[in-house]
Copies of this chain bind each other. A is one copy, B any other.
Amino acid sequence: MSNPSLLILAGDGIGPEVMAQVQRIIGWYGDKRGLNFDVSEDLVGGAAYDAHGTPLHDDTMAKAQAVDAVLLGAVGGPKYDDLDFSVKPERGLLRLRKEMDLFANLRPAQCFDALSEFSSLKTELVSGLDIMIVRELTSGVYFGEPRGIFEEGNQRVGINTQRYTEAEIERGARAAFELAMKRDKRLCSMEKANVMESGILWREVVTEVSKDYPEVALSHMYADNGAMQLVRAPKQFDVIYTDNLFGDILSDCAAMLTGSLGMLPSASLGAPMENGRPKALYEPVHGSAPDITGQCKANPSACILSFAMALRYSFDQGAEADRLEAAVEKVLADGVRTADLMQANDGTPVSTTEMGDAILAAL
């Protein structure tokens, strides 16, 4: 049997720096654990625009469709701020999500014991925090038509369309219920059913799906209250299921609660391919961080933990994923800190490479 295949799209800003450390981890798994991957690399985002005038070349799209999993670094940067909407770095990422049909975006918001004092929240409110947000990723206002800026009378109108079919809501809900079954069996669905009809349909469909998961306790919350409750008492949640736009905001809010954005991975999963593996893209929650690009300061942990999610969700290597996650936790417990994990007067931070060294050593 041939090796599983990985496409690395390191992208912009700190993307290539953190991805270099992931490459070392991948190498380690080949050398030490006999887990070999066929790794190819390509461009996405601003880097692709610079080379090809598009944030995602059709050839790259085809490669992404063909591999077992895509690992993405980050896209965007001030250099590309004035580009036309259609060729902005973000469009490359959105095209990958849409054409690979990655409908379930898994965003764990987890507070690492060694880092709980980094949260802006009081330590007792976040220590041990472990939420899984499942965000619908291929529909809603991100992709609905009509969209655009139109002339109307003597002025312009900006239009976007929130649009959800029952099938779209349902498949994401199933992914969320499946995760809840493996966790604490509690699912909170968030929308604005008091204001939006798409939210009413959302609530109905999720309620319907819940009949297939009688062990999971389902609750519903308006998204504005969801934002409040995340800030007030985040530990009340286990799995949260919400739409593309609410998910964008609420998952960032939840990520920041942990105080360790440089630590948080994500997985975007689609339907099973012929080989049974889901279509999948893994990426850190943090962005391209133009302010520290090229300084070898970035924390590679989020990107490395995204590879751990790949081991778990794409390659059925849960034990190896646990091993990698434990190595990262050990490094934190040992007090190894990149600059993002330090308070003002905390001593000298380690570099991106040194963090990679430490994680490899812990493995």
A-to-B contact residues, CB < 8 Å = 76, 85, 88, 90, 94, 120-122, 125, 141-142, 144, 147-149, 152, 155-167, 169, 192, 194-202, 223-225, 227-228, 230-233, 245-246, 248-250, 252-253, 255-257, 261
Contact = CB atoms under 8 A, between A and B. Distances in A.
Nearest to A90: B194
Given A122-B122, A201-B156, A245-B192, A162 B165 contact: no
Given A156-B165, A158-B197, A246-B249, 20 more contacts: A88-B194, A120-B233, A121-B121, A121-B231, A141-B162, A141-B196, A142-B195, A148-B197, A155-B166, A157-B164, A158-B163, A159-B161, A160-B198, A223-B248, A224-B249, A227-B227, A228-B255, A228-B256, A245-B245, A249-B250
B120 A202 contact: no
Contact of A120 (B85, B125, B163): B125
B195 A90 contact: yes
Number of copies: 2
The listed residue with most B CB atoms (<10 A of its CB), out of A76, A155, A225, is A155
B246 A231 contact: no
A122 B255 CA distance: 17
Contacts of A231: 120-121, 231, 253, 256-257
A42 to B, nearest CB: 22
B158 A160 contact: no
A19 B261 CA distance: 43
Contacts of A196: 141-142, 147, 158, 160
A224 B252 contact: yes
Contacts of A155: 165-167
A200 B157 CA distance: 11
A142 B194 CA distance: 10
A57 to B, nearest CB: 20
A158 B122 contact: no
Nearest to A166: B155
A223 B249 contact: yes
6 contacts: A85-B200, A141-B162, A158-B163, A160-B197, A192-B245, A231-B256
A227 B249 contact: yes
Contact of A160 (B122, B152, B162): B162
A326 to B, nearest CB: 28
